[in-house]
Amino acid sequence: MRKSYGDPIAEDLRFVVKTLVGEENFIDMTPNRSNNYCCGGGGGFLQSGYKQQRLEFGRLKDNQIQATKADYCIAGCHNCHAQIHELSDHYGGGYGVIHLWTLICFALGILGENEREYLNDDLKEVAVYGA
């Protein structure tokens, strides 16, 4: 968000996420908004072949996420999703990484059983649409 749209859009997204999960369940990273760190999935890094360096790049992001003790991290795009998902595995954080659309549909109660690839076991069976 920082790079392309700036802080006002970051605030809009916080409104969306807090509305979905409740104010008390939203935890910001430090630093955040325009001061946040890139996860390391962008710029072609995922396809560049420099895996070890990419994971080292992402260590900062993983530390940030783990410090929040949050169960899930929301990723804004596919590159971020793939990278942060790998960081969670690689560094053992175990936090889930989900797209915003997954969270929106989950909160609306319309997320079916085949649309839950990235939910962890804690939410896998919760409020399954059509079940």
Partner 1 sequence: MSDKVVKLGGKKKSRFMDKVMQLLPEGGNLNLCLTCGACSSGCPATGLDGMDPRKFLRMAALGMDAEILKSDWPWMCTQCQRCIYVCPMKIDIPQLVYNVRGTRPREERPKGILGSCDMALKNDSCSAMGASPEDFTFVVEDVLEEYQEAQPEFKDMQAPIDKQGATFFLNQNSREPVTEPDEMVPLWKILHLVSADWTYGSKGWGGENYCMFLADNDSWEHIVRTTAKQADDLGCKIYLNTE
User: What is the smallest separation between the CB atom of 96 and partner 1, expressed in angstroms?
Assistant: 14
Q: How many residues bind partner 1 (CB under 8 A)?
A: 44
Q: Does residue 85 interact with partner 1 by CB under 8 A? A: no
Positions in 7-66 near partner 1 (CB under 8 A) = 34-38, 40-50, 53-54, 56-61
User: What is the smallest separation between the CB atom of 25 and partner 1, expressed in angstroms?
Assistant: 20
User: What is the smallest separation between the CB atom of 15 and partner 1, expressed in angstroms?
Assistant: 16
Q: Does residue 110 interact with partner 1 by CB under 8 A? A: yes
Nearer to partner 1, 24 or 49 (CB): 49
Phi, psi of 123 (to 5 degrees): -120, -5
What is the spatial distance between Cα 4 and Cα 60, in angstroms, rounded to a whole number?
A: 21
Pick the closest to residue 85 from 49, 41, 42, 32 (CA basis): 41
What is the spatial distance between Cα 121 and Cα 99, in angstroms, rounded to a whole number?
A: 17
What is the spatial distance between Cα 86 and Cα 68, in angstroms, rounded to a whole number?
A: 18
Nearer to partner 1, 24 or 39 (CB): 39
Tokens of 10: 């970051």
User: What is the smallest separation between the CB atom of 43 and partner 1, expressed in angstroms?
Assistant: 3
| Residue 98 three-state SS | strand
Q: What is the DSSP string of 33-60?
A: GGGPPP-S-TTTGGGSS-HHHHHHHHHH
Give the residues lining the site for partner 1 (CB under 8 A).
2-3, 34-38, 40-50, 53-54, 56-61, 77-79, 82, 99, 101-102, 104-105, 108, 110-112, 114-115, 117, 129-130
